[in-house]
Structure 1
Amino acid sequence: MSAADDASAVRAARAAYNAAILAHDVPAVRAAFVDGYVGIAGSGGEVISGGDAMTAYFADSFRNPQFISYVRTPDVVTIAVPAERAMERGHWLGRFRTATGETRLSGEYLAVWVPTPTGWRLRSETFVTLGREAATAE
């Protein structure tokens, strides 16, 4: 596979992960991670160790009626030579319901993807929260 094909595959894997979050689909969220996944949350900097732990984090979020979604949008995907990993850098948006509308958190992230027999999966993600805004309902 070429680097361009691999980059497209990573972007497709990100799109599937975004869709799983939006659909609150726990099994599809779990499919995004390798077992040894490590995540660093944006606002508090908590470390989430393991694919199962990150899946549990989302399962808890999905039960929260205030949670709407997270969307991660890649700006850059770079494939290593040889293609043993990929780096994805981009921006993210989190949306949460409030009594008067919603709160939006936003920032930037860095992710590491690895190829597996079932496709590209996440090894790690680091999120940095850079913005918070309240949006009123119309």
Structure 2
Amino acid sequence: MLAATLITAFALLLPAATLLDHGPDDEAAIRRARTHSNRAIVNRNLLGVAESLADDYVAIVGDGGFVSSKKEYVGLFKQDFDSGSKRVIYERVADKIEVNAEQGLAAEHGHWIGRRVDGSTAFTGTYMAMWQQTPAGWKIRSELFVTLSTGNQPH
């Protein structure tokens, strides 16, 4: 009993990041979160889109525009979800994930595709995401998207 009390007391003195679970499953957890986010986009689920984002999320989108908050980013998806036949369905595909377990950070490098409702490709590009380990799991802290092609390309 005393040992458990001492361990608990010691744990309270450690920085929160030290207490977070880091292991070989970190990359798999990030990939699952990305898959969940992609599915949320397909299903027009704003809550699902927001779930993967840190509270202090920021982004630079494909055309170079700065998105200053999680709320603003989710709002952009709402506008897109409400656009009917002009809607673009975005998919982010992780090509590489690097994890820094000591700092509770990860870098996701990948490519993205924006498809119209009819399946044609509207945009493609590359992206990088910074993930941060939190008590609620891995969350995206920031993203940088670069549009590399636009137009009517076959799916």
- What TM-score does the superposition give when structure 2 sets the normalisation length? 0.79
Q: Distance in 2 between matches of 1:57 and 1:27?
A: 13
Q: Rg bigger for which structure?
A: 2
Alignment RMSD (CA, Å): 1.9
Match of 1:13 in 2: 33
Number of residue pairs matched? 134
Match of 1:45 in 2: 64
Structure 1 pair 60/29, CA: closer, same or farther in 2 (3 Å)?
same
Over 3 Å off, 4+ runs: none
Match of 1:63 in 2: 82
Match of 2:9 in 1: none
- Structure 2 unmatched runs, 5+: 1-20
Asked whether the equivalents of residues 17 and 32 of structure 1 are also in contact (C-alpha less than 8 Å), the reply is: yes
- Three-state SS of the structure 2 residue aligned to 1:4 is coil
Structure 1 pair 115/2, CA: closer, same or farther in 2 (3 Å)?
closer
Structure (1/2) with the larger helix percentage: 2
Match of 2:11 in 1: none
Q: Distance in 2 between matches of 1:136 and 1:119?
A: 37
- Structure 1 unmatched runs, 5+: none
- CA displacement, residues 103-131 of structure 1 (integer Å, 9 cap, x when unaligned): 42101000001111221111001001111
Q: Distance in 2 between matches of 1:30 and 1:2?
A: 23
Structure (1/2) with the larger strand percentage: 1
Identity %, equivalent residues: 34
- CA displacement, residues 2-55 of structure 1 (integer Å, 9 cap, x when unaligned): 54310110111100010101111011111111111111110x211001111111
Which amino acid in the other structure matches residue 124 of structure 2?
S
- Three-state SS of the structure 1 residue aligned to 2:116 is strand
- What TM-score does the superposition give when structure 1 sets the normalisation length? 0.88
Aligned equivalent of 2:120, options 102, 113, 120: 102
Match of 2:100 in 1: 80
